[in-house]
Structure 1
Amino acid sequence: MRYEAHLRARAGERPDHTAIVCAGRRVSYATLADTAERFATALVAGGFGNGDRCVLFLENRVETAAGVFGTLRAGGVFSVINPTTKADKLAYVLNNCEASVLVTQASLLPVARAALAQSPSVTRVVVVDDNPAPTAGEIDWEAFVAAPSTLPDAPRGIDIDLAMLVYTSGSTGEPKGVMMTHRNIEHAATSITTYLRMAPEDVVLSVLPLAFDYGLYQLLMCVKLGATLVLEKSFAFPQKILPLLESERVTGFPLVPTMAALIVQLRNFRPEWAASVKFLTNTAAALPPAHIARLRELFPQARVYSMYGMTESKRCTWLPPEQLDRRPDSVGIAIPFTEVWVAGDDGQPLPANTVGELVVRGGHVMQGYWRNPEATGKALRPGRYPWEKVLHTGDLFRMDDEGFLYFVGRKDDIIKSRGEKVSPKEVENVLYALPGVREAALVGVPDEVLGRALKALLVVEDGVQLTPRDVIAHCAARLEDFMVPRLIEFRDSLPKTDTGKIRRATLQAEADASAG
Structure 2
Amino acid sequence: MKLVQSFLEESATKTPDKIALICEEQRFTYAQFEAMANRLAQALVANGVRRGDRVLLFLPNSVELVVSIFATLKANAVFVPVNHSTKADRLRFLAKDCRAAGLVTWQRQGKTAVSLQKSIPSLNTVVVVGDAPDGCLSFAGIQETFSAERPSSQTIDQDLACLIYTSGSTGEPKGVMSAHNNVVFAASSIISYLQNTADDIVLNVLPLSFDYGLYQLLMTFKFGGTLVLERSFAYPAPVLKRIAAEKVTGLPLVPTIAAILLQLDLSPYDFSSLRYITNTAAALSPSHITALQEKFPQAMLFSMYGLTETKRTLYLPPEQLAERPGSVGIPIPGTEAWLEDETGRRLGPGEIGELVIRGSHVMRGYWERPEATAARFRPGPIPGERLCYSGDLFRIDNKGFFHFVGRKDDIIKSRGEKVAPKEIENVLCSLSGVVETAVIGIPDPVLGEAIKAFVVLKDNSLSEKDVLRHCRQHLEDFMVPQQIEFRDTLPKSSNGKIAKKELK
Which band: TM-score by shorter chain? over 0.9
Q: Deviation per CA, 1:339-371, whole angstroms, max 9, x where unpaired?
A: 011111233420211111000101011101000
Q: Deviation per CA, 1:126-145, whole angstroms, max 9, x where unpaired?
A: 000234xx13x211111123
SS of alignment partner, residue 290 of structure 1: helix
CA distance in 2: counterparts of 1:19 and 1:151, whole angstroms: 19
CA offset at residue 398 of structure 1?
Answer: 0.7
Pair 1:242 & 2:243 matched: no
Pair 1:43 & 2:44 matched: yes
CA distance in 2: counterparts of 1:425 and 1:79, whole angstroms: 23
Q: Deviation per CA, 1:62-94, whole angstroms, max 9, x where unpaired?
A: 111111111111111001100000011100111
Pair 1:323 & 2:320 matched: yes
Correspondence list, 1:60-459, <5 A: 60-131=61-132, 134-135=133-134, 137-149=135-147, 154-272=152-270, 274-459=271-456
CA distance in 2: counterparts of 1:383 and 1:28, whole angstroms: 43
Which stretch of structure 1 is more off in the superposition, 380-389 or 168-177? 380-389
Q: Deviation per CA, 1:261-280, whole angstroms, max 9, x where unpaired?
A: 111111253241x1100000
Pair 1:484 & 2:503 matched: no
SS of alignment partner, residue 477 of structure 1: helix
CA distance in 2: counterparts of 1:149 and 1:3, whole angstroms: 21
CA distance in 2: counterparts of 1:434 and 1:227, whole angstroms: 49
> TM-score, normalization: structure 2?
0.96
SS of alignment partner, residue 198 of structure 1: coil
Match of 2:499 among 487, 499, 503: 503
Letter in 1 for 2:157: D
Q: Corresponding residue for 1:57? A: 58
CA distance in 2: counterparts of 1:115 and 1:169, whole angstroms: 22
Tell me, yes or no, if the aligned pair for 2:42 and 2:151 is still in contact at 8 Å: no
CA distance in 1: counterparts of 2:445 and 2:399, whole angstroms: 26
Tell me, yes or no, if the aligned pair for 2:116 and 2:123 is still in contact at 8 Å: no
Letter in 1 for 2:252: P
Tell me, yes or no, if the aligned pair for 1:2 and 1:155 is still in contact at 8 Å: no
CA offset at residue 499 of structure 1?
Answer: 5.4
CA offset at residue 154 of structure 1?
Answer: 4.9
Change (3 A) 1:97 1:465: closer
Letter in 2 for 1:264: L
SS of alignment partner, residue 262 of structure 1: helix
CA distance in 2: counterparts of 1:150 and 1:327, whole angstroms: 51
Q: Deviation per CA, 1:304-357, whole angstroms, max 9, x where unpaired?
A: 011001000100100111111111111111011110111112334202111110
Letter in 2 for 1:80: P
CA distance in 2: counterparts of 1:373 and 1:211, whole angstroms: 24
CA distance in 2: counterparts of 1:30 and 1:165, whole angstroms: 27
CA distance in 2: counterparts of 1:210 and 1:501, whole angstroms: 37
Tell me, yes or no, if the aligned pair for 2:130 and 2:139 is still in contact at 8 Å: yes
CA distance in 2: counterparts of 1:499 and 1:387, whole angstroms: 39
SS of alignment partner, residue 234 of structure 2: coil
Tell me, yes or no, if the aligned pair for 1:54 and 1:79 is still in contact at 8 Å: yes
Q: Deviation per CA, 1:399-456, whole angstroms, max 9, x where unpaired?
A: 1111111111111232222222211111001111222211100011123433321110
Q: Corresponding residue for 1:514? A: none
| Structure 2 segments unaligned to the other structure (5+ residues) | none
Q: Corresponding residue for 1:470? A: 466
CA offset at residue 288 of structure 1?
Answer: 2.3
- What's the RMSD between the two structures over aligned residues? 1.6
Q: Corresponding residue for 1:4? A: 5
CA distance in 2: counterparts of 1:150 and 1:32, whole angstroms: 10
Q: Deviation per CA, 1:269-301, whole angstroms, max 9, x where unpaired?
A: 3241x1100000011122222322222222221
Change (3 A) 1:424 1:115: farther
CA offset at residue 115 of structure 1?
Answer: 4.0
SS of alignment partner, residue 441 of structure 1: strand
CA offset at residue 99 of structure 1?
Answer: 0.8
SS of alignment partner, residue 347 of structure 1: coil
CA offset at residue 8 of structure 1?
Answer: 1.1
Q: Deviation per CA, 1:440-491, whole angstroms, max 9, x where unpaired?
A: 0001112343332111011112232412x33222212211111111111111
Tell me, yes or no, if the aligned pair for 2:49 and 2:125 is still in contact at 8 Å: no
CA distance in 2: counterparts of 1:498 and 1:109, whole angstroms: 50
Q: Corresponding residue for 1:16? A: 17
Tell me, yes or no, if the aligned pair for 2:256 and 2:416 is still in contact at 8 Å: no
CA distance in 1: counterparts of 2:414 and 2:118, whole angstroms: 31
Percentage of matched positions with identical amino acids: 51
Letter in 2 for 1:336: P
Q: Corresponding residue for 1:493? A: 489
Segments ≥4 residues shifted beyond 6 Å: none
| Structure 1 segments unaligned to the other structure (5+ residues) | 512-516
Tell me, yes or no, if the aligned pair for 1:440 and 1:458 is still in contact at 8 Å: yes
CA distance in 1: counterparts of 2:263 and 2:495, whole angstroms: 49
CA distance in 1: counterparts of 2:282 and 2:272, whole angstroms: 26
CA distance in 1: counterparts of 2:166 and 2:115, whole angstroms: 22
Change (3 A) 1:241 1:41: same
CA distance in 1: counterparts of 2:453 and 2:213, whole angstroms: 28
SS of alignment partner, residue 78 of structure 1: strand
Which stretch of structure 1 is more off in the superposition, 163-172 or 405-414? 405-414
CA offset at residue 44 of structure 1?
Answer: 1.3
CA distance in 2: counterparts of 1:240 and 1:181, whole angstroms: 37
CA distance in 2: counterparts of 1:310 and 1:370, whole angstroms: 16
Tell me, yes or no, if the aligned pair for 2:256 and 2:448 is still in contact at 8 Å: no
CA distance in 2: counterparts of 1:333 and 1:244, whole angstroms: 33
Q: Deviation per CA, 1:223-244, whole angstroms, max 9, x where unpaired?
A: 1011100001100010111000
